Structure 1
């Protein structure tokens, strides 16, 4: 068995020595000033609260820009049977990047048939008024004909799906992997 480095007697001697050492006395004023600077300091751990906790998680915009998070979010939506939302949003982004006016017509029709039409195979949840506006805009499609529906779907994902995704195992494992691979 290894021997103890310090016995009780030695600890008492060290304690007695420490009592004999004179320490500078702090004035109450100094302590209050230090407390204020500590509280106002952003890196102070007790400042983390529900107000700053949301900054630790990525926003919906960041999820859609990062390929790894987007793939994880897409698979999460598939598990919840709502992947049509992300597919519609991505299709709209692709539609907005269309340079040729000739391609606008067939791309708009394709998006309408796939996502907007009442009997669509991947029908998204938008109200009747938005559907009618899109249907009328298909006569002369423009780059912004799906904007209102895309915004509606984005807000739906941001308010409903994204918070659940941020608490899901898929996101937490991806976040853990990205934080542990920094040394490779």
Structure 2
């Protein structure tokens, strides 16, 4: 039985190879039409996964899109780190609180669920951040969780987000959005 030549190549490796080929095509096309910019045509190869990927590449944009947010949440659940996105969303909800009467109980709820030692969904933040939050619970403001939220956001951006970009869930979503865009 003959061996398969590409048996060890993964989908994302093929995608990366295709991106490099597309970049070369674009550079060659730009070089050909550099003297006369009006003659430059937009080729379908320029509208590739790479372009679509750049649109959805930032974590900030993902958190604003319900489909991608749900996929990212499911991905974090599979990695047993969904407390990060849940904390981030709880902070966003807390920050949008309009009634000053709701601030204390919402702040306490977030603290007990995510911040206090041995909390059921304890997040990974420094002890000094936890202490600042605990002190601010006496009279909570809309920004009392900002430092912790920024820390968790950076953790997700540096750690979970790059792995999510290579996950099947993300790749299938970007593929679906591309096919809908072409239709």
| Partner residue in 2 for 1:122 | 121
- 1:108 is displaced (CA, Å) by 0.1
Q: Distance in 1 between matches of 2:182 and 2:56?
A: 22
CA distance in 2, matches of 1:37, 1:158: 38
Partner of 1:168: 167
> Which residues of structure 2 form unaligned runs of 5+?
1-29
How big is each residue's C-alpha offset from its partner over 1:91-140, in whole Å with a ceiling of 9 and x where there is no partner?
A: 00000011111100000000000000011000000010000000000001
Residue 158 (structure 1) aligned with residue 157 (structure 2): yes
Q: Which runs of 5+ in 1 are unaligned?
A: 1-33
**1:105 correspondence with 2:104:** yes
Secondary structure in structure 2 of the residue aligned to 1:125: coil
- Kindly indicate whether structure 1 or structure 2 has the higher relative contact order, using CA contacts under 8 Å at least 6 residues apart: 2
- Output aligned runs, 1:1-184, within 5 Å: 35=31, 37-38=33-34, 55=54, 57-182=56-181
Counterpart residue number, 2:15:
none
Report the alpha carbon displacement of residue 179 of structure 1 after superposing the two structures with TM: 1.4
Task: Pick the structure with greater CA Rg.
Answer: 1
Q: CA offsets per residue over residues 6-62 of structure 1, 9 Å max, x none? A: xxxxxxxxxxxxxxxxxxxxxxxxxxxx847549x7x79999xxxx99735420000
- Cα gap change, 1:120 to 1:177, in 2 (>3 Å): same
What TM-score comes out, normalization by structure 2 length? 0.72
Q: Give the ranges of 4+ consecutive aligned residues of structure 1 lying more than 4 Å apart after TM superposition.
A: 43-47
- 8 Å CA contact retained: 1:38, 1:44: no
